[in-house]
């Protein structure tokens, strides 16, 4: 079973994504605090990360840099799920940090699941 880590400070969105992805057959966990994000990645070793860029304390870009700097995490694909509309404009920069897709909120859950399936099966 493929593992997905949902990192979003909005607990409602994190819960929604977690429930929907479990219904699709994925094992999920969540990190709603940016300061716990990297620890959660190391503990769970997910096959994919859904990452909100706008989180308090450490922003998503900082978290992406942490992932990229570590040999144990740099291979994990990341799908950004964000309300930050400018993220699409900076897509090339985010792709250099390991992002495979940027999905803006509000998102279509079926389309997000299709992206996940295309990324990790």
Cross-sheet strand order for the sheet of 78-82: 27-31, 3-7, 48-51, 78-82, 99-104
Res 58: pLDDT: 80
Res 86: pLDDT: 83
**What is the tens place of the pLDDT at every residue in 37-76?**
999 999 999 999 999 998 888 888 889 999 999 999 999 9
The CA–CA distances, whole Å, from 114 to 5, 23, 51, 88, 98 equal 17, 14, 17, 19, 19
Q: How far apart are CA 53 and CA 61, in angstroms?
A: 6
What's the whole-number average pLDDT of the chain?
A: 93
Res 47: pLDDT: 98
Lowest mean pLDDT among 9-13, 57-61, 98-102: 57-61
Domain boundaries, the chain: 3-120
Fold of 3-120: Rossmann fold (3.40.50)
> Which has more pLDDT, 33 or 28?
28
Q: How many CA atoms lie within 13 A of 50 on its CB side?
A: 32
The pTM for the full model equals: 0.94
> Which residue do the tokens 């990360």 mark?
49
């Amino acid at each position: 079973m493929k593992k997905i880590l949902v990192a979003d400070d909005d607990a409602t969105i994190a819960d929604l994504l977690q429930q929907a992805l479990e219904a699709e057959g994925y094992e999920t966990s969540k990190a709603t605090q940016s300061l716990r994000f990297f620890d959660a990645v190391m503990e769970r070793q997910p096959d994919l990360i859904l990452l909100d860029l706008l989180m308090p304390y450490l922003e998503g870009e900082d978290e992406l840099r942490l992932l990229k700097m570590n040999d144990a995490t740099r291979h994990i694909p990341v799908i950004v799920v964000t309300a930050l509309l400018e993220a699409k404009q900076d897509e090339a920069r985010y792709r250099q940090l390991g992002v495979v897709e940027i999905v803006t909120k509000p998102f279509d859950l079926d389309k997000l699941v299709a992206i996940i399936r295309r990324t990790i099966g």
